[in-house]
Structure 1
């Protein structure tokens, strides 16, 4: 029997995975590092679903995160001994298949384990009738209640397909406290905690702007959410692990991959503008005052399609006349190609500097990317021509690597279907199938009115410095769009940021966004702004429209840009790390 009932007023939920490929040893680290009631893991992302879809094309019995099986071979017995329930979305496109493999594993290890799974999210066989086209994968984002059914039935391990990232955290809390479907504030609080810990060490100092303030980031520990009956929580980590849990590391993850003040899910819409963060002590941050609303009537669907084939070639240009060298290489390659691919794009990255002391510092990169539905047009027909330029082009011609055959790429698009069209099925440890109803009460999403801005700072002396001297940022991808969350740590800094970093200002600081649609959301309680930049990632991460296809560095680029900052707020002391 699980340890879920150990404390009736608190449940301690850890995370061991933020993506398919995360630290393999994390399950053991979390189980051995201290007390847990539940261990969760998020293995799915937009790109992961495409990877699993291609696995399933090769072998219909696959389609799940194979690394999770390796982790369970090592640690399933340990989890059972400790009474720690495990809830993961590692089932991907084949949760039933993974559940079966886990039962085989338990039998082979001589363990008695109750294995359950959740299904119904896979809509690929119904995309025609639902108007979703003909994708390779089509998975609706389910919520927490199927997992709740499995936990209430005594499951030791629950694996799911495509549920929302936070659902694996929300469900154990809902099961433990007996929350109802309309306990929106409590559910929203758990969603906030889940959103913070589901990306693993990004909550404990990973990918964090002010990383130099953290004493030891060598091997950050994975996060834990201590969720209370009212939905409030404390984010922490096991003692003695690396990294840190501070208001800023928690806020960094809250700002990750969000859209606006309403964070919609299948069970509840969480109001991000209600969240209050408080540092309670070393590595303990409270999330409180979260309010929730009824979920929207539609479910989001993750759609992945094979878009065609892609290849690229990187030319190294060194020394003088960089622009002329690039122009010659481009003219030659395009004129030598036997047939032009459907897409052919050039990017010149001026990484060189004048009078450089090393050859690398004297060099720029010219990148040519080609895409076409026909693999032959982007395969050797392209790469052979690129290689043939080696002795016939600009002086010093060389390449970062020899090109090869074209590779298939995917296109991600979001879809939406009425929730009533999507089955949600909990398959209990004894094989009983339970139909889980979708939300009976819904509320259509609508924009939140922009809150009143604080009084602007009075005029005073300024210095032209990087924005990142006072502001942190976190950026990420949502299909072809990217978000950048920006926040500061004092009230005076907020008075300046809220009035200064407008949409127009962002477009000036990031010229690549100048012709794109950008929207801004103001979150005063977090002293934060969120920007959504539409279309900057083309057709999603697998399309690789940019050298940073997931927009991971977009926020750091913004922080590096210089602007006139009042000297009075540059000297503002940041919150002391506890």
Structure 2
């Protein structure tokens, strides 16, 4: 193989993008900041696929992450000089088109880079025959072996379409160490390392509950996984960069967007409940003990459809009688509409407080969201009618924005197809196409039985304080579901948490979840419990079912809720 890594037992893989729109300078920062063997970037998310799908509707030559082209043009020479291979999923819906564009840039710069790509994930044209309906985009989550084939053939740069977020890390590691497809523990170790660094600075202090503990969070550095031959890894960052790498910042990312104790992927299923984390020096966290299993027989498919059109108007309600003012505005608007949209949702956010010292702190927000397949029913016929209330409604009636037309919204749904039904093709720089076979051995996913719990903490004096006084948490979205991972730092705190924070208690603390199905998964090695809240996000992030459509702040809401905590745990 042609890996540029010089240590046969170690490969240093960095990340320079956690989403489409992340820090544009990160690629150069990572290449100049210290030693790397491979630089990866994750540009795709459920919402991104919809955005790229709309780009492709306008121009069939698009459908990839255009910001990556800018980074590539700026940094290709530096990467080649440093001997750093680049592996990214920026190809989105058009990895072949991106590869062509990158070769044009390479030729213009006079830099002879070998550029390969991976394709086959796009199932849009076959969606109906596969039982996936008629979506705008349908992309299967491919694994790492197409990337391995490209790197083994000497590629300097590999671009992919929809692969799993961890695959851009698993591929280089598997290629470097020569792992086989049944080396499940090693592959799962790389999957976990890839999951930790895939979201960039979320592993180095970004979006971290105890953020005030970090000395310098002004500009956190991007993470690096030093992966070893046995699949264990060290998570770190370049010297003299902001943020921090601690057991808790790493665990915060581990908790992000997971479901059960099994983290399924097309190459291996990683057992989250097997992971051991330990500090291995300043800004160095050791990840060991990861057990792997054969992947499931089906691949997940990201399905995006255009759900219709959406619009909203937001009323400002100030001072006294907030509830009555909201009731009047709702009654008036609904009675004045000559055409009623298919969906009309009202939300009153009581941000006001009594005897407020500023007008803003005396005000609440009443939001009306409408959706309909017909754009005319949610356009000016809705928003202009709302504004017509301005002089005819409650005292102080005003709005946060001017009336406007509706805009299209998308719906995300997951689909599943047999892995053998999905072509997986490595396309080398010379055009040679290599078919990647589906996994020969598979294992159907099943929930892990709840482990034996520690003895409860003896009853003692408690204090009613926010859960976040001792607990950290991280939340995220998976389609219409949300997850909330909660963990603590000591064994005594764990004995209290695992017996106290049940699904019933979460639903009591978070009333918005009370009517939904909530499941709990216990992770003793991490002193963590993970909750999956089904249906909280409606039909996915683009649907915007709630004001926090990706559930980013859900964990912090839970941490802010008061609960009786033993005083001995608060010392």
Answer whether TM exceeds 0.5 for this pair: yes
Does residue 309 of structure 1 match 2:309?
yes
Q: 1:473 is matched with which residue?
A: 473
SS at match of 1:281: coil
Q: Structure 2 CA distance, aligned partners of 1:133 and 1:292? A: 33
Matches within 5 A, 1:23-38: 23-38=23-38
Q: Structure 1 CA distance, aligned partners of 2:400 and 2:438? A: 52
Q: 1:438 is matched with which residue?
A: 438
Check conservation: 1:4, 1:11, Cα contact below 8 A: no
Matches within 5 A, 1:245-394: 245-394=245-394
Q: 1:566 is matched with which residue?
A: 566
Matches within 5 A, 1:393-412: 393-412=393-412
Q: Structure 1 CA distance, aligned partners of 2:43 and 2:338? A: 43
Q: Structure 2 CA distance, aligned partners of 1:448 and 1:285? A: 26
Check conservation: 2:308, 2:408, Cα contact below 8 A: yes
Q: Structure 2 CA distance, aligned partners of 1:405 and 1:184? A: 52
Q: Structure 2 CA distance, aligned partners of 1:265 and 1:193? A: 13
1:4 Cα deviation (Å)? 2.9
Q: 2:553 is matched with which residue?
A: 553
Does residue 159 of structure 1 match 2:137?
no
SS at match of 1:154: coil
Q: 1:463 is matched with which residue?
A: 463
Check conservation: 1:2, 1:37, Cα contact below 8 A: no
SS at match of 2:499: helix
Q: Structure 1 CA distance, aligned partners of 2:154 and 2:555? A: 43
1:2 Cα deviation (Å)? 6.3
Check conservation: 2:252, 2:474, Cα contact below 8 A: yes
1:169 Cα deviation (Å)? 0.4
Check conservation: 2:3, 2:152, Cα contact below 8 A: no
Does residue 522 of structure 1 match 2:552?
no
Q: Structure 2 CA distance, aligned partners of 1:495 and 1:453? A: 8
1:429 Cα deviation (Å)? 1.6
SS at match of 2:280: strand
Q: 2:106 is matched with which residue?
A: 106
SS at match of 2:67: helix
Does residue 454 of structure 1 match 2:454?
yes
Length-normalised TM-score, structure 2: 1.00
Q: Structure 2 CA distance, aligned partners of 1:500 and 1:570? A: 16
Q: 2:223 is matched with which residue?
A: 223
Q: Structure 1 CA distance, aligned partners of 2:331 and 2:129? A: 48
> Which digits, 9 at most, give the CA deviation of each residue in 1:273-322, with x for residues without a partner?
00000001100000000000000000000000000000000100000000
Q: Structure 2 CA distance, aligned partners of 1:161 and 1:354? A: 53
> Which digits, 9 at most, give the CA deviation of each residue in 1:189-247, with x for residues without a partner?
00000000000000000000000000000000000000000000000000000000000
Check conservation: 2:300, 2:415, Cα contact below 8 A: yes
1:403 Cα deviation (Å)? 2.4
Q: Structure 2 CA distance, aligned partners of 1:531 and 1:419? A: 28
Does residue 234 of structure 1 match 2:241?
no
Matches within 5 A, 1:195-210: 195-210=195-210
SS at match of 1:348: strand
SS at match of 1:391: coil
Q: Structure 2 CA distance, aligned partners of 1:455 and 1:246? A: 28
For structure 2, the 5+ residue unaligned runs are none
Q: Structure 2 CA distance, aligned partners of 1:343 and 1:444? A: 39
Q: 2:97 is matched with which residue?
A: 97
Q: 2:148 is matched with which residue?
A: 148
Q: Structure 1 CA distance, aligned partners of 2:2 and 2:70? A: 22
SS at match of 1:368: strand
SS at match of 1:172: helix
Q: Structure 2 CA distance, aligned partners of 1:430 and 1:124? A: 27
SS at match of 1:314: strand
Check conservation: 2:187, 2:231, Cα contact below 8 A: yes
Q: Structure 2 CA distance, aligned partners of 1:145 and 1:470? A: 42
Length-normalised TM-score, structure 1: 0.98
> Which digits, 9 at most, give the CA deviation of each residue in 1:467-518, with x for residues without a partner?
0000000000000000000000000000000000000000000000000000
> Which digits, 9 at most, give the CA deviation of each residue in 1:62-81, with x for residues without a partner?
00000000001100110011
1:5 Cα deviation (Å)? 3.5
Matches within 5 A, 1:78-93: 78-93=78-93
SS at match of 1:5: coil
Q: Structure 1 CA distance, aligned partners of 2:116 and 2:434? A: 11
Q: Structure 2 CA distance, aligned partners of 1:564 and 1:62? A: 54
Check conservation: 1:262, 1:271, Cα contact below 8 A: yes
1:447 Cα deviation (Å)? 1.1
1:26 Cα deviation (Å)? 0.2
1:431 Cα deviation (Å)? 1.1
Q: Structure 1 CA distance, aligned partners of 2:345 and 2:303? A: 26
Check conservation: 1:454, 1:495, Cα contact below 8 A: yes
Give runs of ≥4 in structure 1 deviating > 2 Å. Answer: 1-5
Q: 1:72 is matched with which residue?
A: 72
SS at match of 2:412: strand
1:459 Cα deviation (Å)? 1.0
1:17 Cα deviation (Å)? 0.1
Q: Structure 2 CA distance, aligned partners of 1:236 and 1:498? A: 30
Instruction: Name the CA shift for 1:199/1:73 in 2 (closer, same or farther; >3 Å).
Output: same
SS at match of 1:295: coil
Q: Structure 1 CA distance, aligned partners of 2:84 and 2:392? A: 65
SS at match of 1:283: coil
1:3 Cα deviation (Å)? 5.7
Q: Structure 2 CA distance, aligned partners of 1:203 and 1:2? A: 30
Check conservation: 1:2, 1:85, Cα contact below 8 A: no
SS at match of 2:411: strand
Q: 1:574 is matched with which residue?
A: none
Q: Structure 1 CA distance, aligned partners of 2:119 and 2:3? A: 25
Check conservation: 2:2, 2:151, Cα contact below 8 A: no
Q: 2:506 is matched with which residue?
A: 506
Q: Cα RMSD between the aligned structures? A: 0.7
Check conservation: 1:326, 1:348, Cα contact below 8 A: yes
> Which digits, 9 at most, give the CA deviation of each residue in 1:62-106, with x for residues without a partner?
000000000011001100111100000000000000000000000
Check conservation: 1:153, 1:429, Cα contact below 8 A: no
Check conservation: 1:482, 1:532, Cα contact below 8 A: yes
SS at match of 1:385: helix
Q: Structure 2 CA distance, aligned partners of 1:533 and 1:63? A: 32
SS at match of 1:133: coil
